[in-house]
Structures are given as structure tokens and as C-alpha cells.
Amino acid sequence: MANFVKVASVADVPAGTGKVCDAAGKQVALFNAGGKFYAIDNTCKHRGGPLGEGELDGTTVICPWHGWEYDITTGANLDDPNVKLGCYPVKVEGNDVMVEV
């Protein structure tokens, strides 16, 4: 059974930014898009770039290494929707941001 684990505090990820987090040993990219949090796999499918360090434009993250773009709400690559990253449920409890792994 999957569990929610704390990965950050709300203040750690200001609106419009992302952060690389550890969720029970798994690296995830956590994003705050207008106050709503999303978590996807941190590793870009192209060359393994750290997506949590990428630029966030609305609900699109741009890989900092080679510019591949992903929808953080679905994990889908914008150029090829068949290329998908894992997405993880997120909930906020008080000031804690929790990801289900």
C-alpha cells in the first residue's frame, strides 16, 4: 500500500517554482503552480536532466539541460505525449507538502 510522505514545507516551494525532493528514497520534482502542488519523476526522459531544477511556465516545466518540456499535471512530454513521466498524488496538510509513493 502506498503512503504519503512529507517532502517539503509549503514555504520551501514558492509559487512558480520547483524543487528536487526525496520521497522515501525516490527523487521527485515538486512544483507549485499558482498554489497547487504537483509531483513528477525528476529525471527527464531525454538525457536524465533534473526537472526539479527546470524553469516552470504555468504548468509546463522546461528541462534545464536540453529544453524538453513536460506538463506537470500529467507527466506528458509536450512534443510527444506518448513519452510520459510518473506522476504522484500530492496533498498539503498544514504547512507540510506530502507525496504519495
pLDDT, tens digit (0-9, with 9 covering 90-100), for 12-44: 999 999 999 999 999 999 999 999 999 999 999
Per-residue pLDDT reduced to its tens digit, 42-98:
999 998 899 999 999 999 999 999 999 999 999 999 999 899 999 999 999 999 999
pTM: 0.94
User: Whole-angstrom Cα distance, residue 59 to residue 44?
Assistant: 16
Closest alpha carbon to 19 in 47, 45, 53: 53
DSSP assignment, residue 76? B
User: Whole-angstrom Cα distance, residue 97 to residue 95?
Assistant: 7
> For strand 55-57 and strand 96-100, is the pairing parallel, antiparallel, or unpaired?
unpaired
User: Whole-angstrom Cα distance, residue 38 to residue 32?
Assistant: 7
Q: So what's the architecture of 4-100 in CATH?
A: 3-layer Sandwich (2.102)
Domain ranges of the chain: 4-100
